[in-house]
Amino acid sequence: MFRPNTFCYVSKRTGYDEWGREHYAERVRVPCSVVRLQSSRVKSSVRADSSASRGRAREVESDSIVLLPPTQPVDMGDRLEVMGITLEVNGVHPRLNIMGRHDHNEVHLGAWVSKSEA
């Protein structure tokens, strides 16, 4: 049974401009439950002999899961903000209750990297 314990903000991806930068709709406040909120900066797999920084590159990794109500439409590529952390939706899995009704969506999230400032 889904019982939200906090709020998050969902921004739907609406499309791209002529340069390939993503556009998002206004963010919507949605009740959610945080299952796992894990972000870290780890050493990248860049080979030391092929990089000028001698292999000291770092990249952000995130492996997070939140539960959203079934009434909230969310798709891959949408942006989700929870507890001050901005994440990107990587997968949505509908979950059913014991009666077979759609109870909530399990949303898998990864690190969100702004492609509009690259």
Beta strands at 28-36 and 39-43: parallel, antiparallel or unpaired? unpaired
pLDDT at residue 118, as a whole number: 41
How far apart are the C-alpha atoms of 31 and 61, rounded to whole Å?
Answer: 25
pLDDT at residue 97, as a whole number: 93
* Tokens 């390939």, residue located: 20
pLDDT at residue 17, as a whole number: 84
**CATH C-level class of 6-111:** mainly beta
How far apart are the C-alpha atoms of 15 and 9, rounded to whole Å?
Answer: 19
pLDDT at residue 58, as a whole number: 63
Mean pLDDT per 10-residue run, the chain (118 residues)? Answer: 92 88 91 87 61 60 89 92 92 94 94 63
Closest CA to 116 of 15, 34, 44, 21: 21
